[in-house]
Amino acid sequence: MTRLDSAGPLALRRLAHRGPQARVALVGAMSAPLGGDRLSLTAELADGARLRFTTVAATLALPGRTAAPARYDTSLTVGEDAVLHWLPEPLISARGSDLRVRTRVELAATARLALREEQVLGRAGEPPGDLTTRLTVHRAGRPLLDQELRYGPGAPGWDGPAVLGGHRAVGQLLVVDPAFEDRPPGPVALGGTAVVTRPAGPAVLVTAVADDALRLRALFDHVSDLTAW
């Protein structure tokens, strides 16, 4: 790893590596994101690099002194034959918060990616704030996935039977592997609150809802063999 920079509420820490894979954890140095905050996170993997990224705790979106929404932008670039496991802990949307999350990923043709996003809507016994997330992934310069989700009081119907149906934890796991072009994964049994779909490329998208974060993570653990690189 040639460079690791952090500032403000986002503190990056190296972890002991295991084999050829570098490991980095994000530590919250102060409360964030708050209303009006502008946060950004960037990772660039050179050809052949391997990185596992996580966070040491959940991210808590809180209201701030201003009514302006907070923004959290993540930009990931993965080179040829590089491998990225991007596995942060859940994002919690607290009452009164307004957060816009944008994640952009650029993959080389031979890159592999496991990217997990988990959101918990409200803390115990409280309604959530407003949360908008958008995930855009390009592979070899072509669109692979572009998806936007909205939850909270500003999104009509978000808690209805066609969306969350009363569940308070939601997430997705995107796995991109060039090997899927010749050997797509077989059927995966995940239960009644998860679905497996195939984006336009060698990828698998697992989308799930659950009553809480622990049950949500258990659903994703069922497909851990897809990311055992």
- pLDDT tens-digit series, residues 122-168: 998 899 999 999 999 999 999 999 999 999 999 999 999 989 999 99
8 A C-beta contact, residue 213 and residue 207: no
d(CA 167, CA 162): 12
Please state the domain extents for the chain.
10-227
pTM of the model: 0.93
Q: In the prediction, which pLDDT does 65 show?
A: 87
Looking at residue 172, its pLDDT comes to: 96
β-strand pairing of 194-197 with 203-210 = antiparallel
In this predicted structure, the answer to whether residue 211 has a pLDDT above a threshold of 70 is yes
First to last CA, the chain: 19
Asked if 6 contacts 39 with a C-beta cutoff of 8 angstroms, the reply is: no
Q: What is the mean pLDDT of residues 211-221?
A: 93
Buried-exposed string 154-191: b where 16+ CB fall within 10 A, e elsewhere: eeeebbeeebbeebbbbbbbbbbbbebeeeeeeeeebe
What is the pLDDT, as a whole number, of residue 187?
66
Model pLDDT, residue 189: 64
Which of 93-97, 115-119, 219-223 bottoms out in mean pLDDT, i.e. has the lowest?
219-223
Length of the chain: 229
pLDDT at 188 over 80: no
For residue 66, what pLDDT is reported?
85
Q: How far is it, in rounded angstroms, from Cα 8 to Cα 194? A: 36
Tens of pLDDT, residues 168-182:
999 999 999 999 998
Strand locations in 19-154, DSSP E?
Answer: 21-28, 38-45, 50-55, 59-61, 70-78, 83-86, 91-93, 98-107, 112-121, 130-139, 142-151
Please state the rounded mean pLDDT for residues 47-64. Answer: 95
